Amino acid sequence: MSAAPLAPSMEPYSRHVLVCVGGFCSPDQAGRELYRLLPALLQREGLLFGPRRIKRGETPCLGVCTGGPIIVVYPEGIWYAGVTPALLERIVVEHLRDGRVVEDAVFHRL
Ligand code: FES
Angle at 103 between CA 69 and CA 70, to 5 degrees: 10
The domain segmentation of the chain, as residue ranges, is: 29-109
Q: Is the peptide bond before 60 cis (omega within 30 degrees of 0)?
A: no
Q: What angle do CA 106, 29, 24 make, to 5 degrees?
A: 65
Ligand 1 nearest-atom number relative to CA 31:
2
Strands (E), the chain: 15-20, 54-59, 71-74, 78-80, 106-109
Q: What is the pLDDT along the chain (110 residues), one digit of tens a residue?
A: 667 788 999 999 999 999 999 999 998 999 999 999 999 999 999 999 999 999 999 999 999 999 999 999 999 999 999 999 999 999 999 999 999 999 999 999 99
Q: Does domain 29-109 have CATH number 3.40.50.300?
A: no
Closest atom of ligand 1 to 23 CA is 1
Q: What is the pLDDT of residues 9-33, one digit of tens each?
A: 999 999 999 999 999 999 899 999 9
Q: Please provide the DSSP assignment of 30-42 as one string.
A: HHHHHHHHHHHHH
* Residues flanking ligand 1, CB < 6 Å: 20, 22, 24-25, 61-65, 68, 70
- Residue 3 Cα to ligand 1 midpoint, Å, equals 42
Q: Hey, what amino acid is at 30?
A: A
